[in-house]
Amino acid sequence: MAEVLLFHHAHGLTTGVLEFADTLRDAGHTVHVPDLYEGRTFVSQEDGVAHARKIGFGTVVERGRAAAEGLPAGIVLAGFSLGVLPAQMLAQTRRGAKGALLLHACVPASEFGGDWPADVPVQIHAMDADPSFVDEGDIDAARALVASAPKAAELVLYPGGGHLFTDPTLPDFDGPAADLLTSRVLSFLEDKG
């Protein structure tokens, strides 16, 4: 079974994120879910992003790096939206990563020093009409990442316009799409232990 370091989205460490972690644990995986906001949660995406801006996106990434200290090298890095920043940074810069799951977001690989590591498999999941993913350039970054590492990278798009469609505590939740994403994530994790 895999060991996973899972980072929350801009709303903070919601019960929806914790439920997702529990689903992975129920399948036999070890899951670490650090709180990058030190106990703060936000009802609206805007307020959560404003908080991330206030503390600094660099602080969010650094807190993610700190959360990985002491964990084995061979882990899977995962993040929801804002949590993709530390997950992607660690997957690209920390030796021995077994894989990465970038949920609802992707940044250009150049943000973290260059190309995606050829030996680190990655799945990127988002909705095909999500304005945050499509209009803000994440889809372009995801396609470029997949093109640069075609054997290790996969972009999975779901029909719809919701952003955080996997979190049942948020308005964009889409049960069927969330179930499909979860089944794909579990399949991805099967051979990463």
Query: pLDDT category, 129, cuts 50, 70, 90?
Result: very high
What residue type is 69 in one-letter code? E
Q: What is the number of alpha carbons within 13 Å of residue 174 lying toward its C-beta?
A: 16
Average pLDDT over residues 144-159: 92
Residue 31 above 90 pLDDT? yes
**Mean of pLDDT over the chain:** 96
Residue 29 above 90 pLDDT? yes
What residue type is 11 in one-letter code? H
What would the pLDDT profile of 65-109 be if each residue is shown by its tens digit?
A: 999 999 999 999 999 999 999 999 999 999 999 999 999 999 999
- Report the C-alpha gap between 65 and 11 in whole angstroms: 20
11 and 42 in contact (C-beta within 8 Å)?
yes
- The percentage of the chain sitting over the pLDDT mark of 90, rounded to a whole number, equals 93
Domain region containing 150: 3-189
124 and 155 in contact (C-beta within 8 Å)?
yes
127: three-class secondary structure by DSSP: strand
CATH number at residue 156: 3.40.50.1820
Q: Is the pTM of this model over 0.95?
A: yes
Residue 150 above 80 pLDDT? no
100 and 88 in contact (C-beta within 8 Å)?
yes
What would the pLDDT profile of 1-25 be if each residue is shown by its tens digit?
A: 999 999 999 999 999 999 999 999 9
- Report the C-alpha gap between 21 and 5 in whole angstroms: 10
Beta strand extents in the chain (DSSP E only): 3-7, 30-32, 76-80, 99-103, 122-127, 153-158
Average pLDDT over residues 28-33: 98
What residue type is 100 in one-letter code? A
- Give 3-state DSSP helix, strand, coil % of the chain, rounded to 5: 40, 15, 40
